């Protein structure tokens, strides 16, 4: 008996102005592997046209459901009724304390600056962090952070039973 191929994991990954192509490439592969839509918001620090994708060896790019948005307002308008969770090293609540639900949008900022301070302040009750015991490390790699959080959300949604 064959299993039906899922078409959507139930959550969304959002990258706001990503700067480093290999990070976005790794995240795109993760999204392809888990049937998770990827949203790229704002100005990207690299090209994603066919030629650039081929040159980077991203042979799975066609497997990723990618959505481009001019800004966060356009993203939110395209996903009405969805909950947005913001990930930052500045938050005090851990990603493990959240109860993830279908439709959640997991929002990550630029590698060098994270998400804008005003966005975080306006949404503080939905800001989460990944705890790091070694306080001398500023942050984790973006692709690593997305993987940690996405798999916890998918685990809670029952994708690994």
Q: How confident is the model at residue 160, as a pLDDT?
A: 80
Q: How confident is the model at residue 42, as a pLDDT?
A: 87
Superfamily, domain 12-156? SPOUT methyltransferase, trefoil knot domain (3.40.1280.10)
Distance CA 94, CA 97 (A): 5
Each residue's pLDDT, cut to its tens digit, for the chain (161 residues) gives 334 455 688 999 999 998 878 888 889 889 999 999 999 998 876 666 655 555 544 667 778 888 999 999 999 999 999 999 999 999 999 999 999 999 999 999 999 899 999 999 999 999 999 999 998 998 899 999 999 999 999 999 999 87
Distance CA 84, CA 12 (A): 9
Instruction: Map residue 70 onto helix, strand or coil.
Output: coil
Question: The pTM is what?
Answer: 0.89
Would you mind telling me the total number of residues written for the chain in this entry?
Answer: 161
Residue 121 burial (CB count, 10 A): 10
Q: Which of 1, 2, 10 is nearest to 160 (CA)?
A: 10
Helical pair 21-34 and 142-156, crossing angle rounded to 10 deg = 20
Distance CA 60, CA 124 (A): 35
Domain positions in the chain are 12-156
């Amino acid at each position: 008996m064959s299993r039906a191929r899922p078409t959507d994991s139930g959550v969304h990954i959002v990258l706001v102005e990503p700067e480093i192509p290999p990070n976005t490439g790794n995240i795109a592969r993760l999204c392809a592997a888990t049937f998770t839509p990827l949203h790229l918001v704002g100005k990207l620090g690299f090209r994603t046209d066919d030629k650039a994708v081929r040159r980077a060896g991203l042979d799975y790019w066609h497997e990723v459901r990618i959505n481009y948005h001019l800004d966060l307002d356009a993203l939110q308008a395209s996903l009405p009724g969805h909950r947005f969770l913001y990930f930052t090293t500045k938050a005090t609540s851990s990603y493990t304390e959240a109860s993830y639900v279908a439709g959640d949008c997991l929002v990550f900022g630029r590698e060098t600056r994270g998400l804008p301070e005003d966005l975080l302040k306006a949404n503080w009750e939905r800001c989460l962090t990944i705890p790091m015991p070694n306080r001398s490390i500023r942050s984790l790699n973006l692709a690593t952070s997305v993987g940690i959080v996405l798999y916890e959300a998918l685990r809670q949604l029952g994708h690994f039973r």
